[in-house]
Amino acid sequence: MKFCTLLAGASLLALTIAQANAATATRAGFGAANGQKVEAVTLSNGKGMRARIMTLGATLQSLMVPDKAGKAADVVLGYDTAQQYLDRPNYFGASIGRYANRIAHAKFSLDSKTYTLEANDGPNTLHGGSKGFDKKNWKIDSVSSGPEAKAVFSYVSPDGEAGFPGELHVTATYSLDDNNVLKIEYRATTSKPTIVNLTNHAYFSLSGVTHSALDDIVTIHAAKFTPVDQTLIPTGERRDVAGTPFDFRTPHRVNDRIRDARDAQIRMGRGYDHNFIVDGRPGTLRPAAVVEDPSSGRVMEMAVTAPGLQFYTGNFLDGTFIGKDRKSYRQGDSISLEPGVFPDAPNHPDFLSARLNPGQTYTNVMTYKFSAK
Ligand code: GLA
């Protein structure tokens, strides 16, 4: 009798430990957007982290992360319902394509043919045009639990969609493990030579929008960045960060230099809205940035395979975006770090190419490791 009780107790304990170590993925409805049914997958680990990704835009809709006291808060901006993402779009947490960031004058050429895109950001194309991948209702290909919880989303972009050549098959794979690492991996194949730059556009507020993200302490492993013109298109220069407000090689509070109007680049971006050239070899997953929020103790360490990282301080958030929990989002509420090829690479032959040929597989991997101190 005693032995049995002991045994039962032991197996219960084993089960509890197994459960505590396993990460789980669950699938559920997430309302509708313009009449289309939207679904979401929630990835949860045994450490109190939870990521919810909805099919609309393969969007990271919510990310719960514990603070130094173990209290979880949602650290990404966004909306409560899928419909709001279409009603007042702003790329919150979305998967961006076909070309994340800007293409100058909404034009590029490939094999001596010129392609015209939609100019949706002054004269330029931003984030693939106004009907980019962030507005598409992706499919859920698979959902799995285990040492890491995982969900694979897919979207097939028809040949010529938004002006881009080739039928593009895209997947976005989100996974979460027990080391508090959220990983996002984009892959694509094409039927014709094309250009592609996929990224995730999370707006991080590590405090959970209780404090300004400008108080965050940021490190960016980049010795150079690409200065921009008035319309935020790279001039082509690769400039040393040394001696500029763009030197984040050692940790700096964002607010310390964001108002340094002596720097024309700060004026041009109305703060930070610039591509940093991540140190190390593109294609290898390497440390790119660290963000620490002193108020909550939350820390996010980011590694990327991409050559560049767009650092954006939410400069266009003007208080008219009413997000989750009826919070009005304002400039400086968030930090975005968007890994990809450089902005406007298709028009800069000396930038790493965004070209994808049939038979090749495009990949862009980014990991976000969370902790608290
Ligand atoms: C990117 C761009 C910004 C802005 C946001 C969306 O981060 O670099 O300039 O367009 O997307 O508002």
pLDDT tens digits, one per residue of 170-205: 999 999 999 999 999 999 999 999 999 999 999 999
Residue 12 has pLDDT above 70, yes or no: no
CA distance 300 to 216: 11
With beta carbons less than 8 A apart as the criterion, state whether 255 and 217 touch: no
pLDDT band for 20, please (50, 70, 90 cuts).
Answer: low
Residue 17 has pLDDT above 50, yes or no: no
Q: State in Å: Cα 274 to ligand 1 middle.
A: 9
pLDDT per residue as tens digits for the range 238-295: 999 999 999 999 999 999 999 999 999 999 999 999 999 999 999 999 999 999 999 9
CA distance 189 to 198: 12
Buried-state track 200-229, b at ≥16 Cβ within 10 A, e below 16: bbbbbbbbbbebbbbbbbbbbbbbbbbbbe
pLDDT band for 21, please (50, 70, 90 cuts).
Answer: low
* CA-to-CA dists, residue 46 to 35, 166, 371, angstroms: 36, 42, 14
Indicate whether residue 228 lines ligand 1 (CB < 6 A).
no
Question: Which tokens sit at 312?
Answer: 């954006």
Residue 16 has pLDDT above 50, yes or no: no
Contact partners, residue 67, CB within 8 Å, separation at least 6: 73, 296, 297, 298, 372
Out of 336, 341, 342, give the residue to mutate to test ligand 1, the one with the largest number of ligand atoms within 8 Å of its CB.
Answer: 336
Closest Cα to atom 11 of ligand 1: 101
Residue 131 has pLDDT above 50, yes or no: yes
Question: How many beta carbons lie within 10 A of that of residue 286, not counting itself?
Answer: 15
Phi and psi at residue 195, to the nearest 5°? -120, 150
Q: What is the pLDDT of residue 231?
A: 98
Out of 77, 125, 127, give the residue to mutate to test ligand 1, the one with the largest number of ligand atoms within 8 Å of its CB.
Answer: 127
- Give the atom of ligand 1 at the shortest distance from the alpha carbon of 316: 12
Q: What is the mean pLDDT of residues 54-59?
A: 99
Q: State in Å: Cα 314 to ligand 1 middle.
A: 8
Out of 88, 91, 342, give the residue to mutate to test ligand 1, the one with the largest number of ligand atoms within 8 Å of its CB.
Answer: 91
Residue 4 has pLDDT above 70, yes or no: no
Closest Cα to atom 7 of ligand 1: 312
Q: What is the pLDDT of residue 156?
A: 99
Q: State in Å: Cα 286 to ligand 1 middle.
A: 24
Which residues, listed in sequence order, are joined to residue 151 by a DSSP beta bridge? 143, 174
| Mean pLDDT score of the chain | 95
Q: What is the mean pLDDT of residues 354-369?
A: 98
Please indicate whether residue 338 is annotated as part of the active site.
yes
Q: State in Å: Cα 5 to ligand 1 middle.
A: 60
Q: State in Å: Cα 201 to ligand 1 middle.
A: 9
pLDDT per residue as tens digits for the range 112-127: 999 999 999 999 999 9
